[in-house]
Chain A
Amino acid sequence: MTLLKNLTLQLVRIWHAVKDENLHWQTQTHPQQTQLRQAQLLAEHDLQATLSKKTVQLEHDIALLKTRHDTELGIYKTRCQQDIKDYQHYLAALDQLKTSIQNSYPQLPEAVAFGIHHHAKQLLNRMWECSEFEQKMRHEMQLLTFMSTLHEEARLHLEGKSEGILPERTLDLLQQQ
C-alpha cells in the first residue's frame, strides 16, 4: 500500500517537475516570444495593406478595361454595319449593271445576262470573303476590271460604235476565269 502511495507521489512529483520546467522555459523566452508575435502581426498587417492596394488598383484597371472594350466593340459594330451597307451598294451596282446590259443588248438572252451577273456576284463574294489583304485587292481589281469592261462595251454598243450583238470582251473574261 505504501509502495503504491510512494509510486503515485513520485509520479505526481515528476509531472510537476515537467510543468515547472515548461514554466521556467516560457518565462525565459518571454521577450523573444513577444518579439516574434509582434513581427508576425506587423508582417500580416503589411501583407494585408499590399493586397488591399493591389485590389484597388486592379479594380481601377478593370473599369478602364471595360470602358475600352465597350468603345472598341462600338467602333467594330459601326464598321461591320458600314461594311454591310457597302455590300448592299455593291449588289445594287451589280443589279444596275445587269439592267444596263439588258437595255444595251435587247437581243441578249436572259441566260447570258444572268450568267454575267452571276459571275460578277461570284467575284464580289470571293473578294468579300478573302482574309488576306493582297488577295482581296487582287479580287477587287478583277471585279472592277470586269465591271468597267462591261460598262465600256455597253456604252460603245449604245453609241453604235461596236459591232455584234454580244458583249464579246466580257464573255472572253468570263471564259478565262
Chain B
Amino acid sequence: MIIRVSLWLLACAFLALLLNQLLLWLSVPGLPEFFAQLSIAIILAAFGLLLTGGLLLGIQLIFASLSDYFSAPQRSLRRLLFILNRQENLKQQFYFKKLKLDLIHEAHRQRILKANERKHLNALANTIAQDLLTIKNQVPRATFLQLQQENNCYRKQQNGAALLQLQQKIAALIPS
C-alpha cells in the first residue's frame, strides 16, 4: 500500500517535471520554476514516505521478535536446551575425570617404580664402591679416581647398564 502511494507520488513528480519542460519550451514566465519545486517536493515526500514506512515496519518486526523471544514456549525451549547441554557436559566430565584418575595413578606407579629402581641402583653403586676399595692398592691412583668418578656419575644419572659395565671392568681388574 505504502509502496503503491510512493510510486504514484513519483509518477506525479515526473509529470510535474514534464510540465516544467513544456512550459519552458512555451516560454511561460513564472510557472516552470513552481512546477520544478513542486516535483522536487513530491519526490522528497515519496522517498520520505517509503523510508518512514520501512522504519516503522522494522520497529514492528523488532518488537514482534522480542515478544516471541520472551514468550513462554521459547523460554521453556531454551531451558530444555540448557539442561540437555548440562547432561552432555556431565557425560564429558565423567570421561575426563576417569582419564584424570588413570593419569594420577599411573604417575604414582611410576614414582614407586623409580624409587625402587633408585634403591637397587644405589645398592649396586655401593657394591661397586666397596669393590673399588679392595683394588685401591693394586691400580694406579689416576685409574682408581677415574673409576670412582665414573661410579658417582652413573649413580647420579641412575644408569644401570653403565654401572653393570663398570662392575665388569672392575671385576676384570680384581686379582683372582
Residues of A within 8 A of B (CB): 44, 47-48, 51-52, 54-55, 58-59, 61-62, 65-66, 69, 72-73, 76-77, 80-81, 83-84, 87-88, 91, 95, 98, 109-111, 114-115, 117-118, 121, 125, 128
* B80 interface hit (Cβ, 8 Å): yes
> When chains A and B are docked, how far (Å) is the Cα of A72 from the Cα of B87?
17
* Contact (Cβ within 8 A) B167 A111: yes
* B66 interface hit (Cβ, 8 Å): no
A88-B112, A114-B124 known, 8 other contacts, Cβ within 8 Å: A47-B76, A51-B73, A55-B76, A95-B116, A110-B123, A110-B127, A111-B124, A118-B120
* B83 interface hit (Cβ, 8 Å): yes
Q: A84-B109, A87-B109, A91-B116 are in contact. Are A51 and B76 (CB under 8 A)?
A: yes
- Least CB distance from A170 to B in Å reads 17
A83 neighbours in B (Cβ, 8 Å) = 105
- Residue ID in chain A nearest B86 by CB atoms: A62
- Least CB distance from A56 to B in Å reads 10
- Per-residue CB proximity of B97-134 to A under 8 Å, as 1/0? 11001100100110011001100100110011000000
- Residue ID in chain A nearest B115 by CB atoms: A91
> When chains A and B are docked, how far (Å) is the Cα of A72 from the Cα of B94?
9
The B interface, classified by DSSP as helix, strand, loop or mixed, is: helix
Q: A59-B83, A62-B86 are in contact. Are A109 and B112 (CB under 8 A)?
A: no
- Least CB distance from A93 to B in Å reads 12
- Least CB distance from B9 to A in Å reads 12
Q: A54-B80, A55-B83, A61-B87 are in contact. Are A44 and B120 (CB under 8 A)?
A: no
* Contact (Cβ within 8 A) B90 A51: no
Which listed residue (B77, B91, B160) contacts A118, Cβ 8 A?
B160
* Contact (Cβ within 8 A) B73 A47: yes
Q: A73-B98, A91-B116 are in contact. Are A58 and B105 (CB under 8 A)?
A: no
* Contact (Cβ within 8 A) B105 A84: yes
* Contact (Cβ within 8 A) A58 B80: yes
* B15 interface hit (Cβ, 8 Å): no
